[in-house]
Amino acid sequence: MKPLADRVAGWLGHDAEQAVAAAEEAALRSDRFRLEREGDWKRLEGIVARIERGRLKSVPDEDLLALPVLYRTAASSLSIARETSLDEALVAYLEVLTQRAWFVVHGPRAGLGGWLRQFLGGGWSAAVRALGPDILIALAAMVVGTLVGWLLVSSDPDWFYALVPGGDERVPGASGAVLERTLFGNADQPALSVFAAALFSNNAQVSLMAFALGFAFGVPSILLLVHNTGMLGALLWLYHGQGLTLELVGWLSVHGTTELFAILLAGAAGIHIGRCMAFPGDAAVLDAAAAAGRRAALVMTGVVLMLIVAALLEAFARQLLDATAPRLVVGAFMLVFWTGYLFVWRRGRAA
């Protein structure tokens, strides 16, 4: 019988031999795995490298056609390498290669400049046109809100204080001379600037909220549009009572046609998401919501741009124009411009 020390040494030697054999087998499998597929990996790496260096035109057509297949092959190889615990260097190499290939195959095709050209060159307008029914719903809500605001203050003037931000002389009971003085000849007065800034801030918040609340099947977006335009109805009632309706419309139109148009589109974007979730058709609810969200987000990018334009008009154009006629001309021009750009000039397709 062998001594205990000899038996322990024998066991350890046997385990060491098994470990060495397993390592050699793993290395052999890894080498065989690499040799069988390395040609495709190298080809994919060469294609990706040329595209990354901006030399797309130098890539042969057959390589471009093979690119998706080579990418899927590399991704499959990475999955197998992870599951079979091949050497870490091979796994790291395949991870980097598949990440680079993913950006080439699925990544953005254009930079910021290219995206902006596509956005302004038809992408935005196409997304807006895809919201046609929702724009009509939002427009109806804004018209109803204006009428409700008018009817509320006409039945009880105290409603005016609930609908219109306070702080100046635009209140029920003010004389025609006082109201007219708020529209002409005092563009530099702090009260007017504060009131104009409050209007812009309110409308910007409404635009963002109308879009953000669309997920609740669009109902909060509609209610928000009705509530916001109630302020417009209250102002129209106040100035109409003193025969200054046209003057108020001119004062508002310089920036208002752009600003209200932006609110309309923001509300329509929110309603669009809610409508697609409520009536997804053959698609799953989440898929319909995701597709609607992409279109609505594109529209909202344009809404932000419109709000910036409205702020510039409010800050400069309205202060330079101190008569109703030129104000109406500027307001009408902006309305025609946005309508023509978004609905008449057709270039690009909606997402």
DSSP code string of 28-61: HHHHHHHHHHHHHHHHHHHHHHHHHTT-GGGS-H
AA identity, residue 47: I
**pLDDT of amino acid 112:** 65
**pLDDT of amino acid 334:** 95
Q: What is the DSSP letter of 175?
A: -
**pLDDT of amino acid 73:** 87
User: What's the CA gap between 295 and 292, in Å, rounded?
Assistant: 5
pLDDT 10s per residue in the chain (351 long)?
445 455 444 544 555 555 555 555 555 566 777 778 888 889 889 988 888 887 777 888 888 888 888 888 888 888 887 877 667 888 888 889 888 888 887 766 556 677 788 888 888 999 999 999 999 999 999 999 999 999 999 999 999 998 887 767 888 988 999 898 888 875 555 545 555 566 667 677 777 788 777 777 778 889 889 988 999 999 999 999 999 999 999 999 998 899 999 999 999 999 999 888 888 888 788 888 888 888 998 999 999 999 889 888 887 777 788 889 999 999 999 999 999 999 988 764 544
Q: How far is CA 253 from CA 139, 245, 282, 321, in A?
A: 17, 12, 43, 12
* Token couple for 230: 């109630």
Q: Which of 280, 305, 304, 310 has its CA nearest to residue 292?
A: 280
Q: Which of 185, 126, 141, 168 has its CA nearest to residue 346?
A: 126
AA identity, residue 204: A
Residue 276 CB neighbours (<10 A): 25
* Token couple for 74: 């590399």
**pLDDT of amino acid 13:** 54
**pLDDT of amino acid 241:** 93
Q: What is the DSSP letter of 169?
A: S
**pLDDT of amino acid 4:** 47
Which strand (E) or helix (H) includes residue 234?
helix 219-240
Q: Which of 259, 245, 301 has its CA nearest to residue 142?
A: 259
**pLDDT of amino acid 194:** 55
* Token couple for 16: 């060491």
Q: Which residue has the tokens 């001309």?
A: 329
Q: Which of 119, 118, 143, 116 has its CA nearest to residue 267?
A: 143
319 burial class (0-12, 13-18, 19+ CB within 10 angstroms)?
Answer: middle
**pLDDT of amino acid 250:** 92
Contact 128, 264 (CB under 8 A): no
**pLDDT of amino acid 131:** 93
Report long-range pairs for 314-321 (Cβ below 8 Å, ≥24 apart): 314/196, 314/200, 314/254, 314/255, 314/259, 317/254, 317/255, 318/187, 318/196, 318/251, 318/254, 318/255, 319/187, 319/188, 321/254
Report the predicted TM-score, pTM, of the whole model to 2 decimal places: 0.67
